[in-house]
Amino acid sequence: MKIALVAHDKKKAEMVEFMVKYEAVFQPYSLYATGTTGKRIMEATNLEIHLLKSGPLGGDQQIGSLIAMGDLDLIFFFRDPLTAQPHEPDISALLRLCDVYGIPLATNQSTATLLVQALEIGWLLK
């Protein structure tokens, strides 16, 4: 299973804490992340992550491309809904692709926790 990890600037610390908490669950999977988010997760864990570009520099579009090619199964995208993002069109396109291709997407920690629990019991196998 291939999983993407993305977090807006104000949500990066939350994403890192989440990944530390569930590091053992994510260990067997192929992980992809946008630039800074992935680096921060790797600094805090022993997880190996395929680093993409920063979101505003094309990382969101790289993830969208992986979705369209059938190369992603699950996305954790901790969004900051209270801060305007200069690359909002890229974010909207990424969310739309998740809907088009039926990719499970967690945009907050509560939903992410439910998806991790589904991973733990084998409900999200590919």
Detail the residues annotated as belonging to a binding site: 8, 12, 34-37, 54-55, 87
C-alpha dihedral, 26 to 105 to 89 to 96, nearest 10°: 140
C-alpha dihedral, 59 to 62 to 63 to 66, nearest 10°: -160
Is 90 an annotated catalytic residue? no
Cβ-proximal residues to 61 (8 Å cutoff; 6+ apart), any chain: 90, 93, 94
Q: Are 51 and 58 in contact, with CB atoms under 8 Å apart?
A: no
Catalytic residue among 9, 60, 80, 90: 60
Token pair in block for residue 42: 């790797």
Q: Give the residue ranges of the annotated binding site for substrate.
A: 8, 12, 34-37, 54-55, 87
E-assigned strand segments in the chain: 2-7, 30-33, 49-51, 74-78, 105-106
Name the residues annotated as catalytic.
Answer: 60
